[in-house]
């Protein structure tokens, strides 16, 4: 596995990270044994970046990842994201997940519907008090005391402009709850707002936004501050390329710290890992 380094402390990251959005998801029909094997294989391949969020699988992604990593005895670089919350209706359905999963697994149409409607049942909340509750929940599910990197999950530029938002992130770091903080951005406006954070260490960006930024002055600012770039959606946004080629292409310029790829299939992960050797 190849590695990259970011920030003044030269934190070491594998150039390929495992995206964990499908772990625990209702729309993922992959057997749990295969998902567990994928996490184990990632560690065997030298992958040390695991990217999750408190809303992935309504917390089950973090729960599963925490349990498997504790069992492995290894402590990789864990990224989690907070700031989104499922609607009250979806939270009420959470106890029924085991039954619903078995029903949905039998229907490809039902899985597509679940994926398509996920955004409709999500709300944003970047209030500092809520973020503190969310972070403590993530730490509990992951079975760790300190999170390597905490990202705000797709905030708007207006939400990032809140006066006390970075102060809360700095307090998390002072209290030893997180090591680094950053933002997962969806557009140029939110990226520009994120760069106003003095202590920004990481940005997680879709590859089309990375392509746009590389042609703009923003990229110079990012690289001069040694902010680590985590690329996402490389496979989804490069549909004309084979998955391995899509991941390899994003890394080719040498300015990306890590590409996270979401998969729950060991064979797929092995293929991607070979492409970045």
pLDDT bin (cut points 50, 70, 90) of residue 7 is confident
Q: What is the mean pLDDT of residues 11-31?
A: 83
Q: What is the mean pLDDT of residues 4-14?
A: 90
Q: What is the pLDDT of residue 28?
A: 61
- For the chain, the DSSP string reads --EEEETTTTEEEESEEEE-TTTT-TT--S-HHHHHHHHHHHHHTT--EEE--TTGGGGHHHHHHHHHHHHHT---EEEEEESEEE-HHHHHHGGGHHHHHHHHTT-HHHHHHHHHHTGGGEEE---HHHHHHHHHHHHHHHT-SSEEEEEEES--HHHHT-TTHHHHHHHHHHTTSEEEEEEE-SSHHHHHHHTT-TT--EEEEEHHHHHHHHTSHHHHHHHHTT-EEEEE-TTTT-TTS-HHHHHHHHHTTS--SEEEEE---HHHHHHHHHHT-
| pLDDT greater at residue 185 or residue 21 | 185
Q: What is the mean pLDDT of residues 39-44?
A: 96
At 74-93, the pLDDT tens digits run 999 999 999 998 755 555 55
> What is the rounded average pLDDT for all residues in the chain?
88
Q: What is the pLDDT of residue 98?
A: 55
At 199-234, the pLDDT tens digits run 999 999 999 999 999 988 889 999 999 999 999 999
At 120-157, the pLDDT tens digits run 567 899 999 999 999 999 999 999 999 999 999 999 99
Per CATH, the homologous superfamily of domain 24-226 is NADP-dependent oxidoreductase domain (3.20.20.100)
Position 113 pLDDT exceeds 60: no
């Amino acid at each position: 596995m190849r590695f990259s380094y970011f920030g003044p402390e030269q934190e070491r990251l594998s150039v390929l990270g495992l995206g964990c959005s499908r772990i625990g998801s209702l729309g993922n029909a992959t057997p749990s044994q295969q998902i567990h094997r994928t996490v184990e294989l990632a560690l065997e391949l030298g992958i040390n970046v695991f990217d999750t969020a408190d809303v992935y699988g309504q917390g089950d992604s973090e729960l599963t990842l925490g349990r498997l990593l504790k069992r492995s005895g290894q402590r990789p670089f864990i990224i989690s994201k907070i700031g989104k919350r499922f609607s009250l209706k979806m939270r009420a359905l959470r106890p029924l997940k085991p039954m619903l999963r078995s029903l949905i697994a039998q229907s490809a149409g039902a899985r597509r519907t679940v994926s398509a409607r996920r955004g409709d049942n999500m709300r944003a909340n970047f209030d500092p008090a809520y973020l503190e509750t969310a972070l403590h929940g993530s730490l509990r599910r992951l079975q760790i005391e300190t999170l390597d990197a905490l990202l705000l999950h797709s905030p708007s530029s207006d939400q990032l402009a809140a006066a006390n938002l970075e102060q809360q992130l700095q307090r998390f770091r002072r209290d030893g709850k997180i090591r680094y903080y950053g933002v997962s951005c969806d557009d140029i406006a939110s990226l520009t707002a994120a760069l106003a954070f003095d202590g920004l260490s990481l940005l997680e960006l879709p590859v089309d936004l990375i392509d746009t930024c590389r042609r703009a002055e923003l990229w110079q600012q990012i690289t001069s501050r040694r902010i680590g770039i985590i690329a996402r959606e490389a496979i989804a946004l490069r549909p004309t390329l084979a998955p391995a080629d899509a991941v390899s292409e994003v890394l080719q310029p040498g300015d990306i710290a890590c590409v996270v790829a979401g998969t729950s299939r060991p064979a797929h992960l092995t293929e991607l890992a070979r492409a970045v050797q």
